[in-house]
A and B are shown apart, each in its own frame.
Chain A
Amino acid sequence: MLVGFLSAAIIAGTPLLFATLGEIFTEKAGHLNLGVEGMMYMGAIVGFIVGLNTLNPILAMLGAVFSGGMGALLYAFLTVSLRVNQTVCGLTLTIFGEGFASFLGQRVMGSIVPADIKGFFVARPIPGLSSIPYLGEIFFKQDVFVYFGYLVIIVATYYLFRTKKGLNLRAVGESAAAADASGINVTLYKYTHILLGGALCGLGGAYMSLVTVPVWQEHIISGRGWIAVALVIFASWNPIKAMLGAFLFGGLSILGYRMQSMGIHISQYLIDMLPYAATIIIVIISTRKNKKEDMPPADLNNPYFREER
């Protein structure tokens, strides 16, 4: 019973994992992109349509990467090059993305993900690892999209904390002026990582439309982008913590249903509130501890003008 629940929590958490990681990259570049929900919608619909027409799961994922990236490119152009207010621009992107998905979705409403793609994303136990008691059942009897999520987290952690480029990126987010002075191409770093962030959000959306609910339906993301934004703070901008947080929040999102079906009396509304309440508590704790690595990038949400240096 518990294993079944935890295994379902991984599936519920996977879209959050991609989106949270995407937002971590964006914020590490010093940009707050509140368009996560919108980019997830863009990834969900484009991934779905590409999958429907090509019957190829990899192309579907690439389609999601591309469209999430395009949403982010719009955001990057407005906030990096034109220095528009990041909060407003991100919110607009959310509204835009949802409308974009509804608009394109009109034609494919109720269409089913083709069998070729469904078959590609069935649970595939990893030999050896999947026979570990409990853990194997939970983590290693999943679909390839989930495994890809694990991989991306490992690569992202290595990149951020063990490579020179990762160090440069963090420098850009902490102080764009100092990074610029030391010869880092600030604009290039901001653009690439905002785009990368959007691409990951797109993938998170595609997981919803290709795997979680393999039929195109309205409201498919339904606020998960906002949970991802909260998760970034919860995870204090660390990919490993983001993964744990994503699975935890994924679990919380289905916990209420499980408890109801078992007849346990607790308000669904209370459970829906838990991810956000947990985030607030984490923020309070980390602010009090005041550890540098748990703090947001110092230059977050500040537009960078070289002339004002």
Chain B
Amino acid sequence: MKKFTKFLAFALAVTMSMTALVGCGGGASEPAADADKAAEASDTAEATKVGFIYIGSQNDGGYSQAQHNGTKAVKEYFGDKVETIIAENVAEDKQTVKTTAINMIDQGASIVIGTSFGFMDALEELATEYPDVTFLHFSGNKMNDTNFGNYFGAMEEPRYLTGMIAGMMTKTNKLGYVAAFPYTEVHIGVNAFALGAQSVNPDVEVKVVYTNSWGDPAGEKAAAESLLAQDCDIITQHADSAGPQLAAEAAGKLAIGYNLDNSEIVPGAFLTAPVWHHDKYLVPTIEKIIAGTYVPESYYGTMKDGYIGLAPMTDLVPQDVQDKVNEVAAKMEAGEYPVFVGPISDTKGNVLVAEGETLDRAGIWTVMQTLVKGVSAVE
């Protein structure tokens, strides 16, 4: 009897942990299903297999969902010619990423796309170990000459536009910004937002609160509440959940999201959001890889490329505001409206960009490591 109970205990514990693994995997069944389909398809036509590695789940309501929208567009565009293999909830440690990618390559993937910054070093090593496979990396800065490229977008452009909207609509002249961590990418967004707001409203002040986390909806909501308590009447975010928008809605104030069009989730507050159109990069790039003409590049998609943009502005944005924003957006789409044009100074009054100077991509990522005048934050 005692032996049996011990066995039972063990079996239950194992079942529990296995279920947990399946639970975390979520879409674990999908790659298998895709692979089966792929096996059938390969008898008739040569489908290219593309592996996508996500840090979250494909419907996480934020970052990975935006990535997955790109994947879906790729599927739609290529139809039978491309099979996708998706791995979700992949942690940012090198061995996990490598195992996941190698597993995809073993299933026949000839393109592997990593969509989080922390996947970079693993992809770099794999690119050397698997010269026949092409690796694309979102948000990184490493590449090689043969089979490893990276891509990112000029999010400062739509951020500037959202700043204009907020600057024109605010009544208190105080705007709240919920951000995850203080680092360059976030600083660029905050600064672009502030400059956009200041371009239409010189008295506007941007207050930033950092949550020091990418995954805490309640914390992001509480951070927004603290900004609302400081009289901010429009909240925006460089954070992944709908928490800040929900806080604004509950307080009867307005919100600008990030990554996704949340007009249906937060109808009472949602104005618009800067969004990614990953397909604008992925489709032509995959096409080139299939054709054998791909040369690794460090892609930086702009509004002109259509790679980034604004989610449709809701009816909460007055028509005259929409008109003004569309006017500037049209100039950005024509490539005639750079965001960081001097004079720009930092919070202490030191000149960051001199009068008459304009920052290009490299300049943006080196200069914008601090916050501009008119922004208050504790770092």
B20→A5 contact, CB < 8 A: no
A110 at the interface (CB under 8 A from B): yes
Q: Which residues of the other chain, B, contact A1 by a CB distance below 8 angstroms?
A: 229
- A95-B89 Cα distance, complex, nearest whole Å: 14
A257 touching B218, Cβ below 8 Å: no
Q: Which of A23-31, A54-62, A217-225 contacts B (4 or more CB under 8 A)?
A: A217-225
Any chain B CB within 8 A of the CB of A212? yes
Q: Is the CB of A261 within 8 A of B230?
A: yes
**Roughly how many angstroms separate A110 CA and B16 CA in the complex, as a whole number?**
27
Residue A78 at the chain B interface, CB threshold 8 Å: yes
Q: Which residues of A contact B176 (CB under 8 A)?
A: 261
How far in angstroms is the closest Cβ of chain A from B253? 14
> B22 is contacted by which of A4, A103, A224 (Cβ under 8 Å)?
A103
The answer on a CB contact under 8 Å between A106 and B229 is: no
Q: Which among A133-141, A262-270, A275-283 touches the partner chain?
A: A262-270
* Known A-B contacts A96-B19, A219-B217; A261 and B229 likewise in contact (beta carbons under 8 Å): yes
Q: Are B59 and A109 in contact (CB under 8 A)?
A: yes
Question: Which of A220, A266, A272 is close to B217, meaning CB atoms less than 8 Å apart?
Answer: A220
Give the complex CA separation of A96 and B20 in angstroms.
Answer: 4
Residue of B nearest to A15 (CB): B218
Compute how far the CA of A189 lies from the CA of B6 in the bound complex, rounded to whole angstroms.
Answer: 23
Is residue B60 contacting chain A, with contact meaning CB distance below 8 A? yes
The 8 A CB mask of B214-225 against A (1 = contact, 0 = none) is 011111011101
Q: A102-B23, A260-B378 are in contact. Are A218 and B219 (CB under 8 A)?
A: no
Residues of A within 8 A of B26 (CB): 102-103, 106
Proximity bits, A191-223, B CB within 8 Å = 1, else 0:
000000000000000001000111111111011
Tell me whether A89 and B13 are in contact (CB under 8 A): yes
CB-based contact A214/B212 at 8 Å: no
Interfacial chain A residues near B377, Cβ < 8 Å: 260
**Contact between B226 and A253 (Cβ–Cβ < 8 Å)?**
no
Surface stretch bound by A, among B146-154, B238-246, B282-290: B238-246
Number of interface residues of B (CB under 8 A): 53
Q: A254: which of B210, B213, B226, B241 is its contact (CB, 8 Å)?
A: B226
Interface string of A75-110 (1 = CB under 8 A from B): 001100111100011001101101111110010011
Tell me if A112 is interfacial: C-beta within 8 Å of chain B. Answer: yes
The answer on a CB contact under 8 Å between A264 and B20 is no
**A4 with B229: CB separation less than 8 A:** yes
**Considering the chains assembled together, what is the distance between the CA atoms of A218 and B23 in angstroms?**
13
A129, CB-defined interface residue at 8 Å: no
Interface: A12 (CB within 8 A) = yes
Q: How many angstroms between the C-alpha atoms of A82 and B208 in the bound complex? A: 52
Task: Let me know if A259 is at the binding interface, CB within 8 A.
Answer: yes
Contact A92-B13, Cβ < 8 Å, known A110-B61, A260-B209:
yes
- Check B19 against A100 for contact (C-beta < 8 Å): yes
Query: Other CB < 8 Å A-B pairs besides A84-B9, A96-B16, A257-B219, 20 of them?
Result: A82-B6, A89-B13, A99-B20, A100-B19, A102-B24, A103-B22, A106-B27, A106-B59, A110-B265, A112-B265, A213-B242, A217-B217, A218-B56, A218-B61, A218-B215, A222-B216, A254-B226, A260-B377, A261-B176, A261-B229
What are 14 inter-chain pairs, A to B, with CB distance below 8 A?
A92-B16, A99-B21, A109-B61, A212-B218, A213-B221, A213-B242, A216-B61, A254-B226, A259-B378, A260-B377, A261-B176, A261-B226, A261-B227, A262-B230
Per CB-CB distance, the 8 closest pairs between chain A and chain B, nearest first, are A99-B23, A219-B215, A103-B23, A99-B20, A257-B226, A82-B9, A222-B216, A109-B59
